[in-house]
Amino acid sequence: MMEETGSSLSTNHPYWPRNLSLPTYVPNDRSMTEILVFLFSVSGVLLLSIWALTGKQVAGQRLSAGRRLALCWFTVCGFIHGVIEGWFAFFYPVIISDQSFLSQLWKEYAKGDSRYIIADNFTVCMETVTACLWGPFSLWVVLAFLYNRPYRYVLQLIISLGQLYGDILYFYTEHRDGYMHSEHGHPIYFWFYFVFMNGLWIVIPFALIVDAWRQLSAVQAISDKTTSQSRKHKAN
């Protein structure tokens, strides 16, 4: 819709492809540092709080260090999916010209992927599902582990697969577009924002899928053994 090619030589925005026409673009008045400090300090505070909170015995059990790290991860996911990506899902049509803090965050991030300021159809759909489902589910799974709910690993599997599949499609669609939506090889915008930040949502969900697979299969194996033994007892 907004992805029209302009013929003017002077481009008034920092986005790629350089010939994108973005007449309503308003440059940020917040610096990159302010935005990154906000993102990482909120994430850091959440991470440390959950680490401290889960150190105590909860619901008659003590969580392992790995499990506590997983809960820290899901809490940060709850914040990023629910608040940051939630903002995008609701306000993507106006972000380009808006100066709210979170709109400025997205205008900064879009230097690594301009699909976020041209309302790319797949991006909007995937982000909306992420914000509305994986966001709340991420907080739900933290409670599920704290209260030792029997569906805790099922929920971990659902969120992690949702994140992984969404992210695979995110990278794959951009790969087929020839990485045209950022300056190819730029150390910050391409490698840090686009590749590294999103790469986290490939590596960590994959590890948590493997973890859930192992846990759920182990418990099923014990149950199957019991069933098989009781069947043999009946047969004898």
Site for its own copies in 38-67 (CB under 8 A): 60
* Residue 128 within binding range of its own copies, rule CB under 8 A: yes
User: Of 134-153, which residues contact its own copies (CB under 8 A)?
Assistant: 148, 150-153
Nearer to its own copies, 54 or 163 (CB): 163
- Decide if residue 83 touches its own copies (CB under 8 A): no
C-alpha–C-alpha distance, residues 63 and 48, integer Å: 15
CB 128 within 8 A of CB 93: no
Residue 164 tokens read as 């992984």
Closest CA to 119 of 198, 24, 185: 24
Q: Does 223 bind its own copies (CB under 8 A)?
A: yes
Q: Given the complex with its own copies, which of 48 and 221 has the nearer CB atom? A: 221
3-state secondary structure 54-69: CCCCECCECCCHHHHH
- Choose, by CB under 8 A, the member of 216, 229, 230, 233 that binds its own copies: 216
Element (H, E) at 76: helix 65-79
What is the C-alpha separation between 179 and 183, in angstroms, rounded?
Answer: 8
Structural tokens at position 1 = 């819709």
Q: Is 117 in the site for its own copies (CB under 8 A)?
A: no
Q: Does 93 bind its own copies (CB under 8 A)?
A: no
- How many Cβ atoms are within 10 Å of 44's Cβ, its own excluded? 11
- Peptide bond preceding 17: is omega within 30 degrees of 0, i.e. cis? yes
Contact between 213 and its own copies per CB under 8 A: yes
* Between 45 and 219, CB nearer to its own copies: 219
Smallest gap, in angstroms, from Cβ of residue 49 to its own copies?
26
Neighbours of 63 (CB within 10 A): 19
- C-beta closer to its own copies: residue 18 or 231: 231
Smallest gap from residue 40 Cβ to its own copies (A): 29
Question: Which lies closer to its own copies via its Cβ, residue 127 or residue 183?
Answer: 127
**How would you classify residue 60: left for phi > 0, otherwise alpha for psi between -120 and 50, otherwise beta?**
left
Nearer residue to its own copies within complex by CB, 37 or 222? 222
Which phi-psi region, left, alpha or beta, contains residue 10 (left: φ > 0; alpha: ψ -120 to 50)?
beta
Which residue lies nearer to its own copies by CB, 58 or 158?
158
- Angle at Cα 48 formed by Cα 43 and Cα 52, nearest 5°? 150
Q: Considering only residues 12, 19, 121, 230, which one is a binding residue for its own copies as defined by CB under 8 A? A: 121
Q: Does 219 bind its own copies (CB under 8 A)?
A: yes
Q: Which stretches of the chain bind its own copies, using CB under 8 A?
A: 60, 121-122, 124-126, 128-129, 148, 150-154, 157-158, 161-162, 165-166, 168-169, 172-173, 176-177, 209, 212-213, 216-224, 228, 231
